[in-house]
């Protein structure tokens, strides 16, 4: 989901977040990746620019606001990907399948495959649905 640099400040403002360099940098990295990215991978890419605590706070605020969503890879590590544009702080719409490569452990959002509505019992409250497809990505297949 490639976006121009002028879009990042607008995403932050629309979500009532202060425009800061750490937030802009994390948003830029996540939005330009073709697969979900883990916090350790983000740390490597950011280098000394952002400390670990700030990164955790940025990821938590982005997830809370509906800017990113969290997917767990095969090893149980949290990875992060951009939410669709119609997600908000109180209403996530990222109910789609995630493809996990069993070779490189990369996680890809399959946005075009939506999940059916899940009817839950009265009194229950649905917070998330996780459906993963496991296989080999095109990079590892070569």
Binding residues: 92, 94, 101, 104, 137, 140
What are the binding residues for Fe cation?
A: 92, 94
For residue 75, the tally of other CB atoms under 10 A from its CB is: 7
What are the binding residues for Zn(2+)?
A: 101, 104, 137, 140
Query: d(Cα 136, Cα 123) in Å, to the nearest integer?
Result: 40
> Distance between the two ends of the chain, CA-based, in angstroms?
24
* CB-CB contact of 29 with 21 (8 Å): no
* CB-CB contact of 66 with 91 (8 Å): yes
């Amino acid at each position: 989901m490639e976006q121009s640099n002028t879009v990042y400040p607008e995403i932050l403002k629309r979500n009532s977040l202060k425009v800061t360099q750490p937030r802009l940098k994390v948003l830029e990295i996540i939005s330009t990746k073709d697969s979900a990215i883990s916090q350790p991978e983000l740390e490597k890419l950011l280098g000394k620019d952002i400390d670990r605590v700030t990164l955790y706070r940025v990821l938590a605020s982005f997830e809370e606001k509906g800017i990113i969503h969290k997917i767990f890879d095969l090893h149980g590590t949290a990875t992060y990907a951009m939410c669709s544009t119609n997600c908000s702080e109180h209403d996530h719409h990222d109910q789609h399948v995630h493809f996990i490569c069993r070779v490189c452990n990369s996680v890809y959002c399959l946005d075009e495959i939506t999940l059916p509505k899940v009817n839950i019992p009265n009194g229950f409250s649905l917070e998330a649905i996780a459906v993963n497809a496991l296989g080999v990505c095109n990079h590892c297949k070569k």
